Structure 1
Amino acid sequence: MIITPGALTALFTAFRAEFQNAQAATPTDWQRVATVVPSSSTSNTYGWLGQFPTFREWIGDRVLKNMAAHSYSITNKKFESSVAVPRDAIEDDEVGVYKPLFAEMGRASSAHPDELVFALLKAGLTTTCYDGQYFFDIDHPVFPSTDGTGTAVSVSNYQDGEGPAWYLLDVSRAIKPIIFQNRRNYALKAMTDMNDETVFMRDEYRYGVDARVNVGFGFWQFAYCSKAPLTPDNYALARAAMKNFKADGGRPLGVNPGLLVVPSQLEGAARKIVVKDANAGNEWAGTAEVLAPSWLG
């Protein structure tokens, strides 16, 4: 191949097609448990976390509540994946060898949010959320007044144990348990200017994907973690605890746990509990879907 600016543009178009096709075809799970929040700055501060709107009969003037303010912030991080293609490979028409590499980069860009989201879910026992407690904790403060005053009662969304962790989530709300913050989406770029110093010095062209994103926690009330054995009794305990969660002021939140997230070694046990089996007579059948992402191990 004679290398010209036009030839390099056509080559990048072919590489980008491989990238985009694989990106679109890659199955992902992170959207099941995370809400995408766009970002337009270095970080987003979620001062409204912990504030659950409630309705009252409108008699007289509106009642404006001074809600407890939180300073939970998620700072965007930069991620990249880059490759170099030797000029000789292009000159010798060997670019077909590199097309699978760009397809893999497309797959990796779609899978990266999965890695971030489920890694954060696993870290929920040691990572704080908006109220200053670990996301999964036995001491979440819930106050008797809607403005966050008074003596708080400790509420737990965690059951201790020795086994692998499993999670029961309410993913039916506008804000899911995890927040995926997107400042700059994953996109393929090229450095193929024939006057570029790297092209001159190393005789290679560079291609890379980058993004600015990060993850953080939403409402702890929409998630429950257990390290006790995944049995019908412990599943029932988790459901009951979540359905009993209340906002400040004692108002029921109407939590509807409907997604059971488990590591691969617990997938069978999870399905025995919540997937209908005419022969098993399992009373919890149909109460939740099972999700066993490979990122949980």
Structure 2
Amino acid sequence: MAIVTSSLLASLRVGFSKIFEDAKSKAPSLWQLAATLVPSTAKSTTYGWLGQYPKLREWVGVRVVQSMQEHGYSIVNKLYEATVGVARTDVEDDNLGIYTPLLAEMGYAAATHPDELAFSLLGKGTSTLCFDGQYFFDTDHPVYPNVDGTGAVATVSNLIDPAAGEPGTPWYLLDVSRPLKPLIFQERTKPELQSMTDPKQDHVFTLDEYLFGTRYRCNAGFGFWQQAICCRDTLNAANFGKALTRMQDYKADGGRPLGLGRGGKAGTLLVVPASLNSAALDVVNVQLINGGESNKWFDAATVVNCPWL
């Protein structure tokens, strides 16, 4: 039986922290593919510049300052936690191996939490507002003829539904070729492992149990809607081509082509649930089709089989 001393508890904290960090560093993570990391320094961050795609002009005379339409899109940081209780008797009895998987799972959960936040937004995109006041996936996003967001507005859709019948399982086409990706992962703090091991603390004294928990402040939100298309029609070559062509036609305020959807496999994601993964691979991962015919969509996108949709 071990004698529970302050040095033993310090060693326990170090050991559990290592298990947590090792698992966190080794966990597979996908969110960086579709989301841009934005550090946050306050309770929330406002992205007033969303909707402004910068453009260079020939410098003749003095600089021309364009007054852009300002958007009040904010992402509020949320606080997340996960906690494990460690019985003091298990420390005394050197029975700590039973907690190793729990601490490792906590590290895994911290690493994959951004995946869950970011990709689950896609599934909520038809009912969650983005910077222009429309749902992120919508049929009537406003696009203006002037770069400052003025003039007779035209409406543009990034939501494709079947011409007839009920919408099916959604899949998503994302352009990730630009510095700002279609999703934003906002991080106020890094995930950290905290502990409560002082016998004078109420929980330890009353329940004879130490606490180890992770704390994480962050959230996710939407970037430019032009970089994402939701299709609720059948995932096949024809509809993939329809979605890609639509994205390639998108323009910014002022009529400037955005050049989206042209990055091929490195710059375009085809994000699907598990039920559509096989169809997605047939569309973009098969080089020859129809008994030897070249597949024009081969390597046109990277397939992401996403469990968080």
Q: TM-score by structure 2 length?
A: 0.94
In structure 2, what is the equivalent of residue 290 of structure 1?
303
Distance in 2 (alpha carbons) for counterparts of 1:92 and 1:190: 20
Distance in 2 (alpha carbons) for counterparts of 1:198 and 1:146: 59
Structure 1 alignment gaps of length 5 or more: none
In structure 2, what is the equivalent of residue 78 of structure 1?
79
Match for residue 245 of structure 2 among 240, 254, 266:
240
Comparing 280-289 and 149-158, the one that deviates more? 280-289
Distance in 1 (alpha carbons) for counterparts of 2:74 and 2:68: 18
The verdict on how the C-alpha distance between 1:280 and 1:104 changes in structure 2, with shifts beyond 3 A counting, is farther
In structure 1, what is the equivalent of residue 269 of structure 2?
259
Amino acid at match of 1:95: L
Query: Structure 1 residue 281: deviation in Å?
Result: 2.5
Distance in 1 (alpha carbons) for counterparts of 2:62 and 2:294: 54
Alpha-carbon deviations, 1:163-192, whole Å to 9, x = none?
A: 110000111111111100000111111111
In structure 1, what is the equivalent of residue 265 of structure 2?
none
Contact 1:272 1:282 in 2 (8 A): no
Contact 1:19 1:106 in 2 (8 A): yes
Query: Structure 1 residue 160: deviation in Å?
Result: 1.3
Distance in 2 (alpha carbons) for counterparts of 1:60 and 1:112: 50
The percentage of aligned residue pairs carrying the same residue is 50
Query: Structure 1 residue 272: deviation in Å?
Result: 1.0
Distance in 1 (alpha carbons) for counterparts of 2:21 and 2:57: 49
Q: TM-score by structure 1 length?
A: 0.97
In structure 2, what is the equivalent of residue 181 of structure 1?
186
Flag as ranges the 4+ runs of structure 1 deviating above 6 A: none
Amino acid at match of 1:230: L
Alpha-carbon deviations, 1:121-146, whole Å to 9, x = none?
A: 11000000000000001100000111
In structure 1, what is the equivalent of residue 226 of structure 2?
221
Distance in 1 (alpha carbons) for counterparts of 2:107 and 2:276: 30
In structure 2, what is the equivalent of residue 201 of structure 1?
206
Distance in 2 (alpha carbons) for counterparts of 1:30 and 1:202: 39
In structure 2, what is the equivalent of residue 13 of structure 1?
14
Query: Structure 1 residue 280: deviation in Å?
Result: 5.3
Match for residue 269 of structure 1 among 279, 293, 308:
279
SS of match in other structure, 1:181: strand
Amino acid at match of 1:191: M
Distance in 2 (alpha carbons) for counterparts of 1:175 and 1:280: 37
Query: Structure 1 residue 277: deviation in Å?
Result: 2.5
Distance in 1 (alpha carbons) for counterparts of 2:222 and 2:60: 37
Tell me the matched-pair count: 296
